[in-house]
Amino acid sequence: MQITFHGHSCVQLTSRSHSILIDPYLDANPAGVKAKDILAQYILLTHGHDDHITDAVSVAKRNDATIIAVEELAEYFAAQSFKTETMHVGGEWSFEFGRVHLTQALHTSSVRTSDGQRLYAGVPVGFVIEMEGKTIYHAGDTGLFGDMQWIGRRFDIDVAFLPIGGRFTMGPAEALQAAAWLQARLIVPIHYGTFPIIEQDGDRFIENLARIGIAGTALSPGATIELD
């Protein structure tokens, strides 16, 4: 499996037969790839905020991709005639590419309409994805919560993507605790550095992980990880 980081919280998982995209925020993110260059059969959305769904429409339209999200957010896209699959926290389901489990996330979720109004978009979530024999955890936008200990016990996680930006999500200190609870083989920080208000030192976070015996890497946009 190949894992590609596209900047901010956008991650793409590619197996021998499928490619899935999580939280596409691409064209407005100067550090990443553009939406027109993405090939994916499925799009997974953790919540409805602009910096996580902005390019879902263009990617889905170009690829005839299916959007997987909680019911309210999925219905928002279904009303625009996109293919969707609905799920909820605690649920799990097998798709063509693998199995998806929805975890809680401590945050909010809404969709901004063209006239500036906000629509309720269900609860925010994280994803545990079992694909091609590997297990990936994308925490979404979240604060630290105690059930991350259970997630670490329930799943043998190969790579965990954790937000470290602070202000709107966990900061580095809380993400260190999350990493200790999850015990993933590799931790990758996300949702930081895109805007000045969430500027953090990713390399220092990785150094602090190493001090507690946890492997991590701070990926630049476009960087990939190969999992054998």
Q: By the 8 A CB rule, do 141 and 52 touch?
A: yes
Q: What is the pTM of this model?
A: 0.98
Q: Which of 36, 79, 24, 86 is nearest to 61 (CA)?
A: 36
pLDDT of residue 116: 85
pLDDT of residue 155: 98
DSSP annotation of 36: G
pLDDT of residue 32: 72
Per the DSSP assignment, residues forming a β-bridge with 216 are: 187
pLDDT of residue 26: 96
pLDDT of residue 113: 87
Domains of the chain with CATH codes? 2-226 (3.60.15.10)
CA torsion sign for 202, 205, 211, 217 is negative
pLDDT of residue 228: 85
Q: Could you tell me the end-to-end alpha-carbon distance of the chain, in angstroms, rounded to an integer?
A: 7
pLDDT of residue 5: 97
pLDDT of residue 88: 98
Query: Please, which residues have CB within 8 angstroms of residue 102's CB and are 6 or more apart in sequence?
Result: 70, 87, 88, 89, 90, 91, 92, 125, 126, 127
Distance between CA atoms of 90 and 84, rounded to whole angstroms? 18
Q: By the 8 A CB rule, do 186 and 159 touch?
A: yes
Per-residue CA distances from 122 to 3, 75, 174, 209 (Å): 28, 10, 25, 33
Per the DSSP assignment, residues forming a β-bridge with 226 are: 2
pLDDT of residue 192: 98
pLDDT, one tens digit for every residue, the chain (228 residues): 999 999 999 999 999 999 999 999 999 987 678 999 999 999 999 999 999 999 999 999 999 999 999 999 999 999 999 999 999 999 999 999 999 999 999 999 999 988 889 999 999 999 999 999 999 999 999 999 999 999 999 999 999 999 999 999 999 999 999 999 999 999 999 999 999 999 999 999 999 999 999 999 999 999 999 998
pLDDT of residue 114: 85
Burial of 74 (0-12, 13-18, 19+ CB in 10 A): buried
